[in-house]
Amino acid sequence: MNKVRSIWESGGKAVGGWLQMTGVLHAEAMARLGYDALVIDMQHSGTEFDSAVAMMIAIENGGAEPFVRVRWNNPDEIGKLADLGAYGIIAPMIESADDARRLASAVHYPPRGARSFGPRRPLMRYGNDYFGRASDTIVSMAMIETERGLANLDDVLSVEGIDGIFIGPADLAVALGRAPKPDSDDPVVVDAVRMIRERVHAAGKRVGVFCGAGPFARAKLAEGFDFVTLTPDLAMLTASARRVLEEARGGET
- Which residues here bind ligand 3PY, judged by CB under 6 A? 145, 168-171, 210
Which residue out of 26, 44, 108, 201 is catalytically annotated? Answer: 44
> From CA 27, how far away is CA 21, in angstroms rounded?
9
Looking at the Cβ atoms of 123 and 219, the one nearer to ligand 3PY is 219
Based on the residue annotation, tell me whether 44 is a catalytic residue of this protein: yes
Count residues binding Mg ion (CB under 5 A).
3
Judged by beta carbon distances under 5 to 8 A according to partner kind, the member of ligand 3PY, Mg ion, none in contact with residue 169 is ligand 3PY
Q: Find the binding residues for Mg ion in span 184-243 (CB under 5 A).
A: none
Per CB under 5 A, the list member of 28, 83, 163, 171 interacting with Mg ion is 171
Looking at the Cβ atoms of 84 and 230, the one nearer to Mg ion is 230
Q: Give the binding range for Mg ion (CB under 5 A) out of 1-9, 137-145, 190-198, 240-248.
A: 137-145
- β partners of residue 115: none
Shortest approach of ligand 3PY to residue 87 CB, angstroms?
A: 19
Q: What is the DSSP string of 5-43?
A: HHHHHTT--EEEEEE-S--SHHHHHHHTTT-SEEEEESS
Per CB under 5 A, the list member of 122, 149, 164, 168 interacting with Mg ion is 168
Q: Give the binding range for Mg ion (CB under 5 A) out of 60-68, 71-79, 121-129, 143-151.
A: 143-151
Looking at the Cβ atoms of 60 and 171, the one nearer to ligand 3PY is 171
Q: What is the DSSP string of 48-81?
A: -HHHHHHHHHHHHHTTSEEEEE-SSS-HHHHHHH
Shortest approach of ligand 3PY to residue 145 CB, angstroms?
A: 5
Torsions phi, psi for 141 (to 5 deg): -130, 130
Using rule CB under 5 A, residue 41 touches Mg ion: no
> From CA 35, how far away is CA 161, in angstroms rounded?
25
> From CA 101, how far away is CA 158, in angstroms rounded?
10
**DSSP collapsed to 3 states, 188-235:** HHHHHHHHHHHHHHHCCCEEEEECCCHHHHHHHHHHCCCEEECCCHHH
Shortest approach of Mg ion to residue 213 CB, angstroms?
A: 18
Looking at the Cβ atoms of 60 and 171, the one nearer to Mg ion is 171
Give the chain's count of helices (H) and strands (E): 13, 8
**Cβ neighbours of residue 190 closer than 8 Å, sequence gap 6 or more:** 184
Shortest approach of ligand 3PY to residue 193 CB, angstroms?
A: 11
Judged by beta carbon distances under 5 to 8 A according to partner kind, the member of Mg ion, ligand 3PY, none in contact with residue 68 is none
Burial per residue of 99-126, b for 16 or more beta-carbon CB atoms within 10 angstroms, e otherwise: bbbbbbbbbbbeeebebeeebebbeeeb
Shortest approach of ligand 3PY to residue 137 CB, angstroms?
A: 24
Name the residues annotated as catalytic.
44
Residues contributing to the site for Mg ion (CB under 5 A): 145, 168, 171
